[in-house]
Structure 1
Amino acid sequence: MKSRFLTASAILAMASVSFAATAYINQIGYRTSDFKELTLFEGSGNVEFVDQSGKTVLSVTPSAAANWDGSGQSVQLVDFTELKTPGTYTIKVNGQEVRKDLKIADNAYGEVSKALLKWFYYQRASMALEEQYAGKWKRSAGHLDNNVSFHSSATGGSGTLNSPKGWYDAGDYGKYIVNSGISTYTLLSLYEHFPAYFDNLKWNIPAEGNLPDLLAEIKYNLDWMLTMQASDGGVYHKLTTLQFCGTVMPNEDIDKRYVIGKSTTATLDFAGVMAVAARVYEKFDATFAAKALEAAKKAYAWGSANPNVYYNQPRDVATGTYADNNAKDEKNFAAAELFVTTKDASYAAQGASGAIPGWAEMSGLVTYTKATHAADFSDAAAAKDSLIAAADRYAKNASTGFGVPMTKNDFYWGSNSVAANMGVWLLHAYYLTGDKKYYQSAVKTLDYLLGKNPLDMSFVTGFGTKSPMHPHHRPSQADGVQEPVPGMLVGGPQPGGEDIGSNEWECRDYRVNGAPAKSYFDNECSYASNEVAINWNSPIAYLAGAIEALNSGVAPSFAVDGVIVSIPKVRPGLRAADGTPKLRFDNHRVFIENNGIRYDLKGKKLK
């Protein structure tokens, strides 16, 4: 007869299995001199950090447990900022090993930052991706788009249009002006804020004259966008087939392509982006800059004269809509950028907003522009107040749970881009105030996207201990390469379930009740949680790129009293612990402060 009683050792063994702690970390790594934090679930006792020789080099007491509404878990935060020596570490909780992949490095985000930007090269239409640049993800050219038909909805168009280049929008092969608008703006602003850093950063893409890699990549999409402007100044909404194609490579999608629709939102998005491009490219290519500015002015004039031309999906079209029946935010965005570029007071941008930017919500971009151009806008202070108020909420949210600014209500389609845009917002608050809580909250947001989340996975393909292997992305699905194209941020968890159904091509139900942050499926069927998109990659590319730039000793370039300020280097004594200059502001004057002593931007002591 078998004993009905378990030994004490067996009970303890079962308990250790059932209640083993989980440590959620940034799987790419943490910067040596930066803020560092992990999230602990079902832990008990101190968290120990053990080096490769087996020595415990740091022991930390976790914070009190608190419930996080995104996942329904009661978790603790562990601050291990004092661990500064580069290397790979084992994490132990109450003596039990919970993971062995904690990395500390001087340049932790360097490679992932470049990969996030290089992904836009992999999205190029109309050209072959050569092995010397694309490696095993090389492919033939598809969608030359040199003989595109005008759909009946594309008013004013006749014959065919030569409209090559541009980026594929997402997992499909369409090209959409509205989504190109915010994506291109975000990358342009990354360059505009950190030119001293990105002038010299390379990631192996084809050269474009004397342009830095970042501007070369952006110009590939700008060149396409310019082809989409009609002679009257209006801009066509999108260039796609009538239906989404199957799972094929770009050169195998041979269905007829159309220019479809013309809209106020597309036109004004275009105007704002071209206004930024005009000032960014002027020092490299004055002719191109002038062309962009002229296009911006024509588009703004058309959008102002046609304020309510909204895109309605034709009956015979089933590709992405990007429909938006409110163009006020797009007009303010275009006006603000045209005013900064031209100083023409006829471009009047109204108001400021604390709303996180998105393809249908451009007012947050107006807030960025006004708050960082104090001498140009009479309501710059109000814009700054709106920006800081929202940043304070995000920083408070990031102080618990998984350190991400999001709450359960922020988990909707493309939730990872919501997180990334919150991180960008927090960086703007840091630029304006120098308050490290905003910078640290932005770093924690990047940590979330790179592994410190309830799914314990990096959401960027090709990076991390565990990352998506089956994104909804046609080239990655059809190219015969086991690994997906690297550097893609997947949309992320959300409970909408738009891709769930009983058809063969639909997903099983992957939603987790009461845990929107766990409602994710790493499967090609899941276009609602596992697709990729240019407007999702651009904010995380900004977030990682800006953090790398800041930590290289480059401060953001922005307008203070009408003067563009750029600080390529400051001596160590004038840097904060994270390596960034100790910027301070007084009546829109910027200076550096150390131990109560003020210095100008060249490090000279001020009287």
Structure 2
Amino acid sequence: MKTPKVLLTFLLSGLMTACGGGGGGGGSTPASTPASSVAPASSVAPSSVAVSSLPASSTPIASSVTSSAASSVASGAPAISAFIVVDQFGYLPDAKKIAVIRDPQTGYDAALSFTPGATYQLLNLDTNAVVLSGAAVSWKSGATFEAAGDKAWWFDFSSVTTPGNYAVVDVERNVRSPGFKIAADIYQPVLKHAMRSFFYQRAGFAKQEPFAEAAWVDGASHIGTGQDKNARLFSDKNNAATEKDLSGGWYDAGDYNKYTNWHAYYLVALLHAYAENPTVWGDDYNIPESGNGIPDIIDEIVWGFDWLKKMQNNDGSVLSILGLAHASPPSAATGPSYYGPASTSATLTSAGAFALGSKILATLGNADLTTYAADLKTRAENAWTWSVANPNVVFRNNEGASAGLGAGQQEVDDAGRATKKRTAAIYLFAATGSSTYRDHVDANATNATSWVDVWSEPELTAWLYYASLPDATSNIATTIKSQYQTALNANHNWPAVRNADDPYRAFIGTSNFTWGSNRTISRKGLTFHNLIDYNISGTDVAEVRNAALGYLNYIHGVNPQAMVYLSNMYSLSVHSSVNEFYHSWFTDGSALWDRVGTSTYGPAPGFLVGGPNPSYDWDGNCTSNSPNSGCGAAAPNPPKGQPAMKAYLDFNTSWPLNSWQITENHNDYQVAYIRLLSKFVD
């Protein structure tokens, strides 16, 4: 167990990089098929100083200037500064485009400062021509944004729509932003990488070239004796009669377990992503199914359904969880696989997924998918029938007698089961047209969308989907839409956006920066874009798209870390992205897959990490009478003890520092981000 590696991304004066040394958008157009994402040594987070020898209690401080940075400043070329933050992939031509200039007041970078000069320019990096000049405008008359601990300014270059490679330059300070593009197709290669994360998360499937990039080749995992192909019931491990073939599916997160409640929802989210914007999904994501005439997102969805079908019993019930062994790489895992019994919640979530899958797959005009969809519809109705007859079957994994099965708790309470039943009924009505399901939906529709927040976004989407169905009860559909629109005009929704309450243009409120805040950011963007996706009258399309884009820009670098919160995206010329994250494959200490620039390859690209989490803490063992030697002298700061948006550290250390609270990936984060990103892909 080594001490966490602190990434210093906040730079001033000497801590800068020459404009030729890195920064997204300055190079050629990214290839449509993802190429190797391993960054060369000279371009790995070039504005960052990796410090591996600091004790756990160390706070990042300014380091000495590098020789390349010194020569850059001496030669007069603007150097990249982490105080000018932009979407490092770029901007759509018709989008609002605002560079945020930041001056730290509190947090780990408070000792640094930056005051913008009088003149800001937008520089075309291809021609070296200045295409726009003006002043940065102070946010809230110089107020400090408490969630980030920063003062801020905006430089608005929305008027520039010509495609090209650009940077925002502070003329007086002789610094600039990372490079970025303005282009209609800027997010297409990003979407491919984000979707390909599911390929790398496939269990029981060999990742081999040419589909896997050479750095992340691995054999099929969890197919040995006693593993997924003949998994046994956790409570009866020695009984061969309980063996089932439960192979396939996706690793859930940084752990390899498969949780039915969550897995089924990932399918629902991906199905909505496809259905809400079906023309943007290509058949060229370089997965084994590419080129078959079916969008690759649908191929990935079918892969997910193939596993979910295996989890369904003959009586319609659905098993709750499959616990897997862990190793790096995944194919090295040799421990047994065990499953938990069926539960009402798992069965209801699966019923909804099966039903929505049936509805959408049947529309693709493919004979095989039409047959597949018919089977899904039967499975959905069987699952519903079982859940109605067994409304309170609960299984809580990894506690009491089930301790050791899985990691996260997938079970829900009574209210959670009621929610799952409502959403299952919505999707079953869509698939079957049966009044049985519509009656259940209508009976529970009162005030269904009268409160809009990120935590209820999945159910809100289901309600809006119901309201869009031609055979939905008309007055209820109208009420659902009007309530949603009214709710968005209250609380911390439109008022916060229109009042510019967050200078980073991604307001969620300080209290919503918790475990998985990047999922929260993505879902918040979706709550706005739902106005367009579900044709709610009175919607200002441009305003909605720009509001939702603010949340996407945040994930792409418009944040206090000046970091793209996706792993290893240097192949797309970003300046700073996640270099390491908590994952059992890309594990701490791995010579091959630990950290970009330190290990041979670093992690695979395109994984969204959890993000800032001010509730982070080291393990309780570290404050016990016998702390583990990996604890260090104090909890790592950052992320502990920071303003909410700075409660982040680019590290992947396991127990007892528990980096999973900050940097673990999770398919739930991924589907929310993919769904939001897809709205802006041409």
Query: TM-score scaled to structure 1, two decimals?
Result: 0.81
Task: Report what 2:165 is aligned to.
Answer: 88
Partner of 2:485: 388
Q: Give the whole-Å Cα distance in 2 for the aligned partners of 1:222 and 1:460.
A: 26
Q: Could you say which residue in structure 1 is the equivalent of 2:118?
A: 45
User: Offset of 1:382 from its aligned partner?
Assistant: 2.5
**1:187 and 2:260 aligned:** no
Which of 193, 196, 199 is the matching residue for 1:118? 196
- Which stretch shows the higher mean deviation, 80-89 or 527-536? 80-89
What one-letter code is carried by the residue in structure 1 that aligns with 2:472? D
Deviation track 1:33-69 (CA, whole Å, cap 9, x = no partner) reads 3221221224353422123344322123334323433
The answer to which structure, 1 or 2, has the higher relative contact order (CA under 8 A, 6+ apart) is 2
Alignment map for 1:85-164 (pairs within 5 Å)? 85-93=162-170, 95-106=172-183, 107-135=185-213, 136-144=215-223, 145-152=228-235, 158-164=241-247
Q: Secondary structure at the match of 2:132?
A: strand
After superposition, the Cα gap between the structure-2 partners of 1:512 and 1:58, relative to the gap in structure 1 and judged at 3 Å, is: farther
Indicate whether 1:346 and 2:436 are aligned: yes
Residue equivalent to 2:601 = 482
SS at match of 2:247: coil
The match for 2:45 is: none
Deviation string for 1:186-245 (max 9, x for gaps)? 1111111222332x442110117553211101111110011111222111111004xx63
* Aligned equivalent of 1:36, options 97, 122, 132: 97
Corresponding residue SS for 1:146: helix
* SS of 1:368 mapped into structure 2: helix
CA shift in 2, pair 1:201/1:444, >3 Å: farther
- Mapped to 2, the partners of 1:146 and 1:345 lie a distance apart of 39
Q: 1:293 to 1:504 in 2, by over 3 A?
A: farther
Q: Please, which runs of 5 or more residues in structure 1 have no aligned partner?
A: 1-12, 553-607
Partner residue of 1:334 out of 417, 421, 424: 424
- Describe how 1:218-257 pairs up with structure 2 within 5 A: 218-241=301-324, 245=326, 247-257=327-337
Q: Does 1:206 find its partner at 2:288? A: yes
Q: SS of 1:236's equivalent? A: coil
Change beyond 3 A, Cα 1:390–1:476: farther
Give the stretch that moved more between structures: 384-393 or 492-501: 384-393
Residues 408-466 of structure 1, C-alpha deviations (whole Å, 9 max, x = no match)? 11111110001111112221113323532111111111000010001110001122311
1:173-322 → structure 2 map (5 Å cutoff): 173-198=256-281, 200-207=282-289, 210-241=293-324, 245=326, 247-282=327-362, 283-284=365-366, 285-313=369-397, 314-315=399-400, 316-318=402-404, 319-322=407-410
Q: Can you list the C-alpha shifts for 1:250-294, whole angstroms capped at 9, x where unaligned?
A: 121111111113222211111111111101212322221111111
AA aligned to 1:376 is: A
Contact 1:499 1:528 in 2 (8 A): no
Whole-angstrom distance in 2 between the partners of 1:435 and 1:338: 31
Q: Does 2:453 correspond to 1:365?
A: no
CA spacing shift, 1:312–1:32, aligned 2, 3 Å? same
Q: Given that residues 615 and 640 in structure 2 are in contact (C-alpha distance below 8 angstroms), is that contact kept between their aligned partners in structure 1?
A: no
| Greater fraction strand | 1
Which 5+ residue runs of structure 2 have no aligned equivalent?
Answer: 1-12, 17-60, 63-80, 104-115, 594-599, 623-627, 654-658
- Between the two proteins, the alignment pairs up a number of residues equal to 529
Q: Which moved more, 1:315-324 or 1:164-173?
A: 315-324
Structure 1 equivalent of residue 615 of structure 2: 496
Which residue is 2:33 aligned to? none
Distance 1:505 1:303, change over 3 A: farther
List per-residue Cα deviations over 1:66-89 (Å, max 9, x = no partner). 343321222223321112233333
SS state of the match for residue 578, structure 2? coil
Paired letter, 2:180: K
Shift of 1:22: 1.7
Partner amino acid, structure 2, of 1:205: I
Contact 1:38–1:79 (Cα < 8 Å) also in 2:
yes
SS of 1:134's equivalent?
Answer: coil
Separation in 2, partners of 1:443, 1:276: 27
- Deviation digits for residues 485-527 of structure 1, max 9, x if unmatched? 1010000001121445633556634235461111012111210
- Contact preservation (8 Å) 1:374, 1:381: no
2:514 corresponds to 1:412: yes
Which residue number corresponds to residue 139 of structure 2?
65
Q: Following superposition of structure 1 onto structure 2, how do residues 430-469 of structure 1 map, counting pairs within 5 Å? A: 430-431=532-533, 432=535, 433-463=539-569, 464-469=574-579
- Structure 2 SS opposite 1:254: coil
Provide the secondary structure at the position in 2 that maps to 1:152. helix
Q: 1:508 aligns with which of 627, 636, 644?
A: 636
**Percentage of identical aligned residues:** 25
- Which amino acid in 2 is paired with 1:409? S
Q: Give the TM-score, by structure 2 length.
A: 0.73
Aligned Cα root-mean-square deviation (Å): 2.7
Tell me the equivalent position of 1:530: 663
Q: Confirm or deny: 8 A CA contact 1:118 1:487 kept in the other structure.
A: yes
Per-residue CA distance 1:127-155 (angstroms, 9 max, x = gap): 1101101112110110121101012289x
Q: 1:397·1:403 contact (CA, 8 Å) conserved in 2? A: no
Indicate conservation of the 8 Å contact 2:87/2:556, yes or no.
yes
CA pair 21-341 structure 1, distance change in 2 beyond 3 A: closer
Q: Which amino acid aligns with 1:108?
A: I
Hey, what does 1:429 align to over in structure 2? 531
Is 1:472–2:582 an aligned residue pair?
yes
In 2, Cα distance between equivalents of 1:218 and 1:487: 18
Quote the residue 2:412 is aligned against.
Answer: 324
